[in-house]
Structure 1
Amino acid sequence: MAQRRRRRPWRIALVLLVTLGLTIAAVNVVQSLVRLPSPPLVQRCLATDGSTSVALDPEQAAYAALISAIATERGLPARAVTIGLATAMQESRLANLDYGDRDSLGLFQQRPSQGWGTVEQVTDPVHATNAFYDALVRVPDYERLEVTVAAQEVQRSGFPDAYAQHEQLARLFASALTGHSPASVVCRLAEPDPATTAALPAMLSTRLARDLPSVSMVAAEADQLLGVEALVPDGGADSRDRLAWAVAQWAVATAHETGVSEVVVAGQRWVRSEGARAAWAPLPEGAVGADDPAGTVRVR
């Protein structure tokens, strides 16, 4: 019988060293992966109906909030907001443009030469939105028309069918921002800088005065309480609840500009610091705002 060769000690040591090296390398790779920084937050605002979500960037969402707020102040229906948002998306991608075809300018690409106002007026989002609604309400039975037909009656565009492609996005944001779909607009934003946080009351007051002048605001310790009673002449409870949600979701959609970090309404809360996980959720038991009366929105 042949004698079994003895395994040389240096070979065993080499195998152990190689195994140890591979193990250390694997551990280092895992640790490096764990230490990788989180990807930057993609800031956006979402509107959903439970099965479908659509998104705008924060600047677009703020203009959508303005277009909806002006309709609310004027007592216009959500359908008018849908038509307005679809039109502004097609004309400017919801941006206050200082250029356009020929002399077209602003959110709705209105032309001073066609009687929409001066250059300064059509590039003022409030004037431009009111001018759009002034024309829309003169369209007979506009609420029953297809969005693209109603928009074309106002705009007289060279691409009359183009508005239809934005109808779903416009409808979801309009339903949320008018309060018909509670807890359906969520913005996922980075934390505001300290200067913006410190200026919150002034920024919020300025934006309210522009968008929703009928909404009252009072300071309550660290919070700003927004009341919708002035918007509800009949005092109906259902209207107060709906308008409170309209104001609350307006506050979320404009938070990128105002610095709002938290919104509380009807026992629900949106918290900005949750970033990519931000969503409307029930208030914890005993939390401040849980017993607020109907028609109150708490902002901080």
Structure 2
Amino acid sequence: MRFRTGVAVVALAGVGVVAAGVWGVSSLLGGVTPFFQPDQCTAEVNGHEVTLSVEQAENAALITAVAVGRGLPAHAATIALATAFQESKLYNVGAGDRDSAGLFQQRPSQGWGTKAQVTDPYYATNAFYDALVKVDGYETMPVTEAAQAVQRSGFPDAYADHEADARVLASALSGNSRHAFSCRLGGAPDAASTRLTSSGLTHRADVVRREVDEVFGDPPMGGFAPGGVSTGHMSGSAHYDGRAVDVFVRPVSPANKVRGWAIAQYLVAMADRLDVQTVIFDDRIWTAGSRSGDGWREYDPPESAGDRAILEHRDHVHVDVYP
């Protein structure tokens, strides 16, 4: 599993981070995505909206997904997200105060790991949670107190400044708030090899399968249907080309519905990096490209398409990648 580990050359004054905005340009032939709109992601819960760059969204999604995969409460993700907001603005920063680095500005000299490890978002996130779960009563502790217990910062009250945004992101990306997180992504990746791997998937689709497996558990609540075609798939489905993965969250239950939305919204957050084209779950659909700005839309397959129980995707997250 490879995340964006290229670290930015950034000077930190306290905790400030200078970051370059990423701008997406839609095709003039597409005609529906406004020209020069930035690629960005948003989460909205109870009227509070948080807007992130694509890189920030990927890091927020990973931080939350690791908590879900470890069986930690959403409060743990809120603490971690507030910490990363304060320490790095959710960017994987290469250098900070003294020898601190990465999302959480962890210091190798303080036993957090090597420079390479603390700038690996997956490692750094797990290291943070390893420390957090040792804090007695963190589950009910105020966010800033729990964050400070882990970080031992010189600015212990600063984490509270990011609590509201962290709560929105944790609620959405943990799946507790359904279809509350989305990304607007313009353009499409270059074509890739259509050769199938041993799993029956293209390389791009197999990368998605392996990443979901690693982040959310082995297997994630019911397993995968990576290769082949199940009864009820419509003609033209990406399953026929080995470009689609179904991640099952069976049996259908409130807890599994939450987990399904965590997986679905993680895949949207990672769509740019993983070349994801479509995500469908719980009768909602998100598509990259010109319609991505519409967010999660109602999904209504035609009556004649086949088994609606399968097509409505109530018990599995469908994801397909670009050709």
For normalisation by structure 2, the TM-score amounts to: 0.74
The residue number in structure 2 matching 1:163 is 159
* Structure 2 residue 217 is matched with structure 1 residue 203: no
The residue number in structure 1 matching 2:178 is 182
The residue number in structure 2 matching 1:225 is 246
Q: CA deviation at 1:205?
A: 3.2
Contact 1:41 1:275 in 2 (8 A): no
CA distance in 2, matches of 1:186, 1:175: 13
Q: CA deviation at 1:70?
A: 0.9
* Structure 2 residue 118 is matched with structure 1 residue 98: no
Q: CA deviation at 1:120?
A: 2.1
Q: 5 Å matches for 1:1-300? A: 38-195=34-191, 200-214=204-218, 215=220, 216-217=223-224, 218-219=226-227, 220-221=239-240, 222-229=243-250, 237-275=253-291, 277-286=293-302, 290-292=308-310, 294-300=314-320
Q: CA deviation at 1:267?
A: 0.7
Name the aligned partner's letter for residue 245 of structure 2. Answer: Q
Deviations 1:209-263 (Å, cap 9, x if unpaired)?
442343343133242212245xxxxx67221111111100011111011111111
CA distance in 2, matches of 1:228, 1:118: 36
Q: CA deviation at 1:68?
A: 1.0
The residue number in structure 2 matching 1:19 is none
Contact 2:188 2:289 in 1 (8 A): no
Name the aligned partner's letter for residue 253 of structure 2. Answer: A
Aligned-CA RMSD value: 2.3
Deviations 1:112-160 (Å, cap 9, x if unpaired)?
1111112222122122111111111111211222111110110011111
Larger deviation, residues 220-229 vs 133-142: 220-229
Contact 1:48 1:184 in 2 (8 A): yes
CA distance in 2, matches of 1:228, 1:129: 25
Contact 1:243 1:295 in 2 (8 A): no
Contact 1:49 1:172 in 2 (8 A): yes
CA distance in 2, matches of 1:203, 1:194: 16
Contact 2:172 2:179 in 1 (8 A): yes
Name the aligned partner's letter for residue 170 of structure 1. Answer: A
The residue number in structure 1 matching 2:234 is none
The gaps in structure 1 that reach 5 residues or longer are 1-34, 230-234
- Compared with structure 1, are the counterparts of its residues 134 and 228 closer, same or farther at alpha carbon in structure 2 (3 Å cutoff)? same
- Compared with structure 1, are the counterparts of its residues 176 and 82 closer, same or farther at alpha carbon in structure 2 (3 Å cutoff)? same
Name the aligned partner's letter for residue 178 of structure 2. Answer: P
Deviations 1:86-106 (Å, cap 9, x if unpaired)?
101111111222211001011
CA distance in 1, matches of 2:174, 2:193: 27
Q: CA deviation at 1:290?
A: 4.8
The gaps in structure 2 that reach 5 residues or longer are 1-30, 195-202, 228-238
CA distance in 2, matches of 1:151, 1:127: 18
Query: Structure 1 runs of 4+ off > 4 angstroms?
Result: 196-199, 287-290
- Counterpart of 1:113 in 2: which secondary structure? helix
Contact 1:270 1:279 in 2 (8 A): yes
CA distance in 1, matches of 2:175, 2:193: 26
Larger deviation, residues 76-85 vs 95-104: 95-104
The residue number in structure 1 matching 2:10 is none
Contact 1:41 1:189 in 2 (8 A): no
- Compared with structure 1, are the counterparts of its residues 69 and 223 closer, same or farther at alpha carbon in structure 2 (3 Å cutoff)? same
- Compared with structure 1, are the counterparts of its residues 240 and 57 closer, same or farther at alpha carbon in structure 2 (3 Å cutoff)? same
Larger deviation, residues 151-160 vs 135-144: 135-144
Larger radius of gyration: 1
CA distance in 2, matches of 1:283, 1:62: 25
What percent of counterpart residues are identical?
Answer: 42
Contact 1:67 1:129 in 2 (8 A): yes
The residue number in structure 2 matching 1:23 is none
Contact 1:187 1:278 in 2 (8 A): no
- Counterpart of 1:195 in 2: which secondary structure? coil
Name the aligned partner's letter for residue 131 of structure 1. Answer: A
